[in-house]
Amino acid sequence: MNVFITGTDTGAGKTHFSAAVLRACGRRGVGAIGMKPIASGAEETPAGWHNDDVAALRAAATVSAPDADINPYLFALPASPHIAADAAGAAIDVDVIDHAYRRCAAQAEVVVVEGVGGWLVPVTRDILVADLADRLALPVVMVVGVRLGCINHALLTARAIGASGRPWLGYVANVVEPDLEALPAVLATLEEMLPGPCLGVVNWHDEESLGRAAGALADILIARPDKTARR
């Protein structure tokens, strides 16, 4: 089964978790590709334009795919996709992303598609990240960046995902602010108020907890066939 990884906001840890899921699939002998349909924020290097998120997904994948399929759209400006595209004089075509996804899905048993920013970030002025996940007909996992204010962000995002009708596989609590006051109470509130399951709590710079959470999702993706119908 393939999956769409979204987050409560920018910097929630989507790439960190997505790459770990790819590695977990590899440890289980499963061919997996990571896809970042749109990446905003790139720098020019002697080898060409570079984005850290795309590089991390490419390095963690167990199946290779062309750069144009892994990352159809790459922009220099670190901004919302529609703004970054405007700055580059480009237009984002969701058909291009859809075709790239289909090619990735034809090569790998698992495709981990990482969104950009949060669930309601504009891809174009008419299309949101939520619409992109719907176009690809993928179930969703939400990465909660556990920091001050995350409960509100998480509940709003979960409610929006539910309203979209996309299948929900669970959430990951990624502690990005380790000194957050009342951290145990925050985590308990997320578990109580979010639709489960919690796939895991990822502690700050802790590879063991990251591996457990990623492994929990990898087992779901491997065990369950993808029954989501394309539209």
pLDDT digits (tens, 9 = 90+) for 102-128: 999 999 999 999 999 999 999 999 999
Asked whether the predicted pLDDT for residue 231 surpasses 80, the reply is no
Instruction: Output the pLDDT for position 227.
Output: 42
Closest CA to 176 of 9, 38, 2: 9
Instruction: Output the pLDDT for position 229.
Output: 35
pLDDT digits (tens, 9 = 90+) for 126-184: 999 999 999 999 999 999 999 999 999 999 999 999 999 999 999 999 999 999 999 99
Residue 104 in 3-state DSSP? helix
**Active centre residues (catalytic):** 36
Could you tell me which residues come within 8 angstroms of residue 212 by beta carbon, excluding any fewer than 6 positions away? 200
Residues 56/60/106/75 CA torsion (nearest 10 deg):
0
User: Could you state, in order of their start, the residue ranges of all structural domains in the chain?
Assistant: 3-223
Asked whether the predicted pLDDT for residue 228 surpasses 70, the reply is no
Could you tell me which residues come within 8 angstroms of residue 181 by beta carbon, excluding any fewer than 6 positions away? none
* Structural contact between residues 21 and 35, judged by C-beta atoms closer than 8 angstroms: no
Instruction: Output the pLDDT for position 196.
Output: 82
What are 22's two structure tokens?
């790819």
What are 41's two structure tokens?
């924020």
Average pLDDT, the chain: 94
Percent of the chain with pLDDT over 90: 92
* Structural contact between residues 108 and 63, judged by C-beta atoms closer than 8 angstroms: yes
At 221, which helix (H) or strand (E)? helix 207-223
Q: pLDDT: is 44 or 210 the higher one?
A: 210
Please give the CATH topology (third level) of the domain spanning 3-223: Rossmann fold (3.40.50)
